[in-house]
Amino acid sequence: MANLSPGNGQNNQNWGWNLTSDPCNDEWVGVSCDSQSQTVKGIVLGEYNFTGTLDASSLCMVKSLAVLSLISNNIVGIIPEEIGNCTSLTHLYIRKNKFVGVIPDALSQLSNLERLDISNNHFSGVISTMSRISGLVSFLAQDNHLSGEIPEFDFVNLQQFNVSNNNFIGQIPDVQDRAEMHKNVGEQRDNWNKLLLNSINMITLTATTMAGVAATGGAGAPLLALRLSSTLLFTAATGMLFIMNKIQPSQLAEEQRNATKLFRQLQSQIQTTLALYDPTELDVKDAMDKYWLLTKLTHFLCWGK
């Protein structure tokens, strides 16, 4: 961090960030540490009006660093290849700065990286290597100058994905996958409806035939059985029509899948908040409101009320 100058922190007597003090024991501004091991876990320095370049070689000497957030500053230059040495990094937020150049291949070597936000900068070039990060759940790269085709990310795990306002070509893979999914859902629904309709028609035809035979056969126990059987078949056909109109299993499964995805997003947001700072009462209330709303939604999808 030696190459950065904090415009909003120079007058803070408790700023720290010098070689004569300890980041954990002396509580450097923006630094969070593991209480047991006394190792640096996170650096959160948003909106400090930093200028200069990012010195990843010294920063990544802290092998325990998991969270780095430099949101809304005036940092310039490129992301150096040395960022690949931050092997424990799980969250990297550098949006709203003035970074330029291409996304370094070293970034894709961060196998523990889960959330990456490089939006609102001046990055250019392709992002083909970013899809190699298998554990990525959030990738935000909107409002840059990136180009080329969007690679095949693992959209099953991605909870946040935004590459708008760039110079990409081709179709967004998620849109293509979503269209294919809806096509499959429609085909499954059509097959379900055809199968039920054919079954109902056969049951109705059989019941009608049995009722006709019973009506022309006079009296007796066998004919009474035919009448009862035909009545039961007509009732079954009516019940199946009612079920067919009420249940669309593939659509219901899709909505339940979306509800599960929302729960995972909420869990991830809570974990991110805890990693970045101590949650406020407002943060807790917001999380609880979202939880109860999702609980009601899930209950409705499962029970219909």
Of the candidates 63, 56, 53, the residue with the CA atom closest to the CA atom of residue 81: 56
CA–CA gap between residue 64 and residue 281 (Å, rounded): 29
Same domain, 260 and 236: no
Same domain, 216 and 140: no
Listed residues 147, 170, 193: the one ending a domain: 170
Same domain, 237 and 268: no
Listed residues 231, 247, 263: the one ending a domain: 247
CA–CA gap between residue 297 and residue 133 (Å, rounded): 32
> Looking at the 3D structure of the chain, how many domains does it have?
3
Same domain, 271 and 240: no
Same domain, 164 and 91: yes
pLDDT at position 102 = 95
Same domain, 8 and 145: yes
pTM equals: 0.60
151: left (phi over 0), alpha (psi -120 to 50) or beta: beta
pLDDT at position 15 = 75
Of the candidates 285, 293, 283, the residue with the CA atom closest to the CA atom of residue 262: 293
pLDDT at position 167 = 93
Collect the ranges in the chain with pLDDT lower than 50: 175-176, 179, 301, 303-305
Same domain, 259 and 118: no
pLDDT at position 68 = 95
The residue range of the domain holding 63 is 4-170
- Read off the pLDDT of residues 224-269 as tens digits, 9 standing for 90 and up: 555 555 566 556 656 656 665 555 555 555 555 666 666 566 666 6
pLDDT at position 175 = 46
SS3 labels along 3-67: CEEECCCCCCCCCCCCCCCCCCCCCCCCEEECCCCCCEEEEECCCCCEEEECCHHHHCCCCCCCE
Report the CATH number at residue 126. 3.80.10.10
Same domain, 29 and 109: yes
8 Å CB contact between 80 and 31? no
SS3 100: strand
Same domain, 270 and 138: no
Same domain, 136 and 20: yes
